[in-house]
């Protein structure tokens, strides 16, 4: 039966993102099948043959669609996301678009309006919603262990050589900010105003700081940093009126993928955080470790496959990504002006 057949997903792009952060997850996710890759590069095609012997490679999205895929995942430079997404929609193919969804919120809106006219599914690859650390923060908040949350701190800090880390096209504010802002809005809802500082000189490591005020009253302090020292701070801190929670590092999924690992190989050990890396709950002078939830980026693609088969919603509402872009645009304005900026309507209105 069609409903029980794996969703055949074609991948557009086989650079770092496509090769390490999409292909292994599509191949391992329940309900999904990696069905082909679009790349013209001889080097990338050689890597694809090494990683997935016999996997078909195509020159363009039209060829991929003609091969009979059910959906496409776009993992290409950020400035190509909009035209490729629009082409996929015109071909009637459900779309996973990597982040940042677009370079401007207006362009992202254009894409979503076209998806609604065409009746085609589209979602944005906010895979860090499925990090163990974020899932644990959500569990801690939902359990009431910290009480009413008043302040949230989130940092993504990565070691960078003096030449910096190549950007996917949006600079550090969009590259890292797309994750951090999305996570904060997922936890605490729409952002109504921001103050931001940005250091993102061409060819050099960059840094940003965003103070975001949510409509519900929580203030999020968000940092993205490409560091020369390689000494990251706490990943998350959550402050409530009863206790606080903090955790040091990521759950290791990205490191395992970059080292050539995969969920298919690791099995039940995938995304499990060892006890020594669990976060901590602090209440008064008392501190105790708090078991980490299990992270699993394959859950994104399994959820997407269910949506394609009509058995649920897409894993990330793409309008959330438009709202995130509005926050990042307000952050850029704030950094330019040195003043607090209001964030559009606060959410992406349709």
Q: Give the pLDDT band (50/70/90) at residue 350.
A: very low
What is the average pLDDT value for the chain, to the nearest integer?
93
Would you state the structure tokens that stand for residue 100, as one six-digit string?
């940042």
Domain with CATH 3.30.360.10 in the chain: 128-295+327-342
Q: Provide the CATH topology of domain 2-125+300-316.
A: Rossmann fold (3.40.50)
| Whether the bond into 100 is cis, omega within 30 of 0 | yes
Report pTM.
Answer: 0.93
Q: Give the pLDDT band (50/70/90) at residue 258.
A: very high
Q: Give the pLDDT band (50/70/90) at residue 250.
A: confident
| Cα 53 to Cα 233: distance, rounded to the nearest angstrom | 41
* β-strand pairing of 191-199 with 236-240: unpaired
Backbone angles phi, psi at 214, to 5 degrees: -85, 155
The share of the chain scoring above pLDDT 90, in percent, equals 86
Would you state the structure tokens that stand for residue 154, as one six-digit string?
């989130």
Q: Are the C-beta atoms of residues 55 and 38 closer than 8 Å to each other? A: no
Residue 340, C-beta contacts closer than 8 angstroms, at least 6 positions apart:
193, 194, 195, 334
Residues 41-52 pLDDT 10s: 999 999 999 999
Q: Give the pLDDT band (50/70/90) at residue 251.
A: confident
Q: Which residue has the higher pLDDT, 130 or 202?
A: 130
* β-strand pairing of 219-227 with 149-159: parallel
Q: Are the C-beta atoms of residues 318 and 273 closer than 8 Å to each other? A: no
Least confident span in 8-12, 70-74, 163-167: 163-167
Q: Which residue has the higher pLDDT, 345 or 160?
A: 160
CATH of domain 128-295+327-342: 3.30.360.10
Domain with CATH 3.40.50.720 in the chain: 2-125+300-316
| Cα 171 to Cα 205: distance, rounded to the nearest angstrom | 10
Residue 186, C-beta contacts closer than 8 angstroms, at least 6 positions apart:
129, 134, 320
Residue 159 confidence (pLDDT) above 90: no
Give the per-residue pLDDT at 349.
42
Residue of 34, 25, 24, 76 whose CA lies nearest to 55: 34
Residues 100-131 pLDDT 10s: 999 999 999 999 999 999 999 999 999 999 99
| Cα 97 to Cα 82: distance, rounded to the nearest angstrom | 9
């Amino acid at each position: 039966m069609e409903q029980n057949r794996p969703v055949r997903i074609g991948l557009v792009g086989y650079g770092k993102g496509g090769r390490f952060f999409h292909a292994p997850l599509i191949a391992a996710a329940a309900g999904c099948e990696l069905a082909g890759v679009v790349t013209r590069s001889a080097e990338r095609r050689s890597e694809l043959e090494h990683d997935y012997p016999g996997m078909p490679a195509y020159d363009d999205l039209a060829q991929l669609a003609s091969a009979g895929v059910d959906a496409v995942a776009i993992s290409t430079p950020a400035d190509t996301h909009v035209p490729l997404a629009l082409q996929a929609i015109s071909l009637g193919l459900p779309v996973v678009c990597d982040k940042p969804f677009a370079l401007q919120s207006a362009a992202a809106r254009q894409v979503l309006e076209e998806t609604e006219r065409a009746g085609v599914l589209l979602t944005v690859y906010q895979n860090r919603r499925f990090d163990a650390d974020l899932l644990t923060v959500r569990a801690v908040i939902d359990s009431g262990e910290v009480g009413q949350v008043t302040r949230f701190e989130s940092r993504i800090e990565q070691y960078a050589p003096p030449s910096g880390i190549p950007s996917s096209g949006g600079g550090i504010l969009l590259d890292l900010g797309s994750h951090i802002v999305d996570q904060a809005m997922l936890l605490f809802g729409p952002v109504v105003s921001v103050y931001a500082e940005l250091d993102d000189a061409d060819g050099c490591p960059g840094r940003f700081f965003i103070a975001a005020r949510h409509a519900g009253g929580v203030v999020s302090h968000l940092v993205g940093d490409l560091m020369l020292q390689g000494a990251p701070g706490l990943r998350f801190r959550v402050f409530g009126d009863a206790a606080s929670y903090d955790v040091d590092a990521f759950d290791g999924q990205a490191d395992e993928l970059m080292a050539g690992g995969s969920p298919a190989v690791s099995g039940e050990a995938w995304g499990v955080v060892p006890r020594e890396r669990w976060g901590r709950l602090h209440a008064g002078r008392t501190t105790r470790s708090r078991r980490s939830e299990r992270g699993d980026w394959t859950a994104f693609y399994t959820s997407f496959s269910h949506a394609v088969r009509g058995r649920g919603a897409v894993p990330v509402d793409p309008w959330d990504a438009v709202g995130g872009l509005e926050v990042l645009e307000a952050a850029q304005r704030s950094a330019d002006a040195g003043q607090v900026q209001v964030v559009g309507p606060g959410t992406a209105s349709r």
